[in-house]
Structure formats: C-alpha cells, structure tokens
Structure 1
Amino acid sequence: MSTNALPPIVDADTWQRQLDELRAREKAATRELDAIAAQRRRLPMVRMPDYVLEGEDGPVRLADVFDGRRQLIVYNHMWFPGKEWQCSGCTGFTAQFTRLEFLDNWDARFVIVTQGPIDAALAYKRRVGNRMTWYSTANSPFGADVGAPLGGGFAVNVFLRDGDTVYRTWHTNGRGTEQLTHTFALTDVLPYGRQEEWQDSPEGWPQSPAYSRWPSSKDVAAAYGQDGAGA
C-alpha cells in the first residue's frame, strides 16, 4: 500500500458531484475576473513626461519604445548593482516569455525595463538566455516614477500612446503579476499545488518554504543562457 499523501479515493459519481461544486466556484471567479478587467478598461490615465531610455541601439524616447504600437506592457526588472545574478523571481518570470509576436494582433508590445546600465543589462540578458527586448532607465527617473526604483521591487506598468504622447494606464506589483504567468496557473491545478508552506493544503501534503522550488537565476542561465541547452 502507498505511503504517499493522497486525496481520498471515491466512486466516479461522488467525484463528479464534488467537481461540479468546485466548477461553480471556478466559474464565479472567472466572472469576477471579467468584471475586474472591465473596471480596468475604465480606469483613467496619467500623462507621462517625455522620458528617454537607453536601448540596445542607444537613447530612445518612451514613445518610440512602443515600436509603432499603441499599447505597451513594461516589466520593471529588479536590479542590484555589482551582482552577477539578479533577482531570481524576475529572471525566472521573464524567461518564460519567448514568443511575443502574437501581441502585434492587439497593437501591443511587451518589454523589460531595468535600472541597470544598458551594457550590463544586455550582458545579463544574454547570460540567462532572455528573449525579451530590454531597456535601461539608469539615466532617467522613469523607473522610480513608476514604482520600480533602483534596489527596489519589481513592477508591471501598462501605457497607451496617442501620437507622441504616452499615458500610464495600469500598475501592479507583488502577487498582482501572477495573472501574467503560466507558472502558477499550471502548478495550481496540480493535486499538490505549489507545495509552499503558506498554502492551505490537506495534512501530509508535500510543502516547503516559499520560493524554494523556484529556479535560481543560475538555473535559468544553465537551461537557456549562453552555455545552456536553450542557447
């Protein structure tokens, strides 16, 4: 007999009945997310100054970061000067975005902006095998102005461009970024979930400290970077 922690074993009818009960809650949550998205579409916006960032090819105005699109998602990647390995959460989160061309159909673009100097940022991008487009705000107040100062946390900001004028329409940080990743969506449907100690799980379920299962920046580099299999 198995000594592993397992869910109760029931007949198919009992399983289906309990699944249907859960499905009702899942559908209610989906409708709530739809309502939240509807409210998000009705948010006012704030006009932004004419910031200049640093890109791979030199200085670039914020309006030109859109690359002709009207909508822009920015992931503000944490940066700590002098560190070989930057934030593992940011590194792992952004490593998963390898195909972003589909956003063209929505007149949108998704890029990384970091407080690190552009040369160091691009070197780190190569080291960890990141496929996104990176910009630096090391010589601009942009990062601090949108909730991502040097040595501070990560953030997601969304902008809308009207001609050469840019507006800030949405911002989130912390667990608010989870809706943008498939990592947690996939692990949350597993029987054991994320397997982190803070989660409400049945007695005996495998659990470990928060973040302990997340890949380190070095792990990401080994898998996707210059010396990894994904290079």
Structure 2
Amino acid sequence: MPTTTARPLPQVVDAETWRRELDALRVREKAATRELDAVAAQRRRLPMVALPDYTLVGEDGPVRLADVFEGRSQLIVYNHMWFAGKEWHCPGCTGLTSQFTRLEFLEPYDARFVIVTQGPIDEALAYRERTGNRMEWYSTSESPFGADMDAPPGGGFAVNVFLRDGDTVYRTWHTTGRGTEQLAHTFGLVDVLPYGRQEAWQDSPEGWPQDEPGAGWLSSKQVAALYGPGGRAAD
C-alpha cells in the first residue's frame, strides 16, 4: 500500500513479528518501572532539613509557610519562573502547571500542591487569571524563601517538597530541569507516540521529524488563549 505522507514511517511487519518486538521492549519498560520504584524508595529515605519561619504572601495577605499547608502535613511547591516587568512568563512553567486543574486527589494523602513565584502577589494573581491557571499562588517577592529553595529572583524554576510537624517545616526533596517531567502527563503521552517529542536531541530513526527543544510546547500566550477567560478550552 503506498504511503500517504511525506514523513518516513515505521517498518511494516506481520503481527507475530510486531508482538515479538513489543515483548522485547516490554522487558526494558518493566525494568525502568522497577528502577523508578527503587528511586522512590530511596527518596522516602532521604534525610530532611528544618527551615526558618518564612512568611509568604497569598491572595488574602501574608501567610506563614507552616500555614500554607492548611492543616496538612505534606506540601509540594512549584517555584514558577517570573520575568519582572514582562507580560508573559516562562512557557514551560505556564504550560506544565496549566495541567493541574483538579488537585483534590491529594487530600487523602494529607498533601497540598501550590505555586510560589517571585512575582508580586497582585501581578501573580493577575497572571493566574489571564492564563486560566487553577492552582493556588503565593508570592516570595518579600521573602528569601524562593532564593533559599533554589529559585531566586531572575532564576530558574524548581519543585520543592516539605513536611510539617506542628509549626516546624522541613525540606525533604528538590528537583529542577527535566526532574520536573515526572509531575506532568504531557511528556508521558507524547513519548508513546511513534514520532515522540520530535526534538533534535532525542535518539530517533533516520528521517524522523525533529526540531529544536521545546518547539512543540505551547507558548504562555497560547495557554492563555486556550484556558484563560473566554478561551475555547476553558470550562
């Protein structure tokens, strides 16, 4: 059957050959799953460090870090990049956090997930509204918290995890860069597609479509057009 696309296609084989190749791949997939389980087990055994009594600013004003937990014992913080004086902020941060529209599933785990940014709270909340973001936002613009958590003014993004015991908060885990991919469903979905992420750094067959890293990501403005007020994907 002639091809109907200019793109190269995977090899066409019989069902038995396809099943054999799939079974071989499954061995590696299961090994990777077991390794991720082992990594998570090591993460649960990490020591932690006690933090000072930071004060952030939320929608209702100043709030102690211990109170950001809202009575829960565990807290995940996405430190969202902020470009002072700009209308649009980090597209990676904006796109990744736009996925989290229903976080109530964390309640049985005694946990919360929020955004902390270096932007002043009024500007941060306006950006949340403009992009249709559904998460709770806090500002560290008047606190050293962000810088101490490896997300300083003008710096990059990060994910930090905390454990609360009474009024004492402990930092238990931190990641940045591609370490944040495990929080999102986007890359997992794209990675199972035949052409994958279509980024030049990836090991793909000869002739596969490839572009610069991040070329397929939505811009912050596109996220706003989809999910912000009046956006066609907003509900």
Determine the C-alpha separation between the residues in 2 that align with 1:33 and 1:186: 18
- Aligned mate of 1:223, from 204, 213, 226: 226
Of 28, 31, 50, 1:28 maps to 31
Cα deviation per residue 1:47-106 (whole Å; 9 max; x = unaligned)? 000000000000000000001110000000001110000000100000010000000010
| Alpha-carbon distance in 2 for matches of 1:148, 1:4 | 41
Please, which of 39, 44, 48 is the counterpart of residue 45 of structure 1?
Answer: 48
What is the SS of the residue equivalent to 1:130? coil
Runs of 4+ in 1 over 3 A off after TM superposition: none
1:127 pairs, out of 127, 130, 133, with 130
Q: Given residue 215 of structure 2, which amino acid in structure 1 is its aligned partner? A: S
TM-score (ref. length: structure 1): 0.99
| Counterpart AA for 2:152 | P
The 2-side partners of 1:172 and 1:14 are apart by 41
Q: Could you list the runs of 5+ residues in structure 2 that have no partner in the other structure?
A: none
Q: Does 1:5 align with 2:24?
A: no
Segments of structure 1 that go 5 or more residues without pairing to the other structure are none
> Is the contact made by 2:7 and 2:209 (CA closer than 8 Å) also made in structure 1?
no
Report Cα offsets for 1:182-213 as digits up to 9, x if no partner: 00000000000001111110011111111111
CA-CA distance at 1:227 after TM superposition:
3.2
Determine the C-alpha separation between the residues in 2 that align with 1:129 and 1:196: 28
Identity %: 76
Give 1:110's match in structure 2, choosing from 104, 110, 113: 113
Q: Which amino acid aligns with 2:77?
A: V
Whether the 8 Å contact between 1:221 and 1:227 is mirrored in structure 2 is no
Partner of 1:75: 78
**1:102-158, Cα deviation, whole Å (9 max, x unpaired):** 000100000000000000000000000000000000000000000000110000000
| 1:214 alignment counterpart | 217
Equivalent position SS for 1:171: strand
RMSD between aligned residues:
0.7
TM-score, normalisation: structure 2: 0.97
Q: How many residues align?
A: 231
State the one-letter code of the partner of 2:216. R
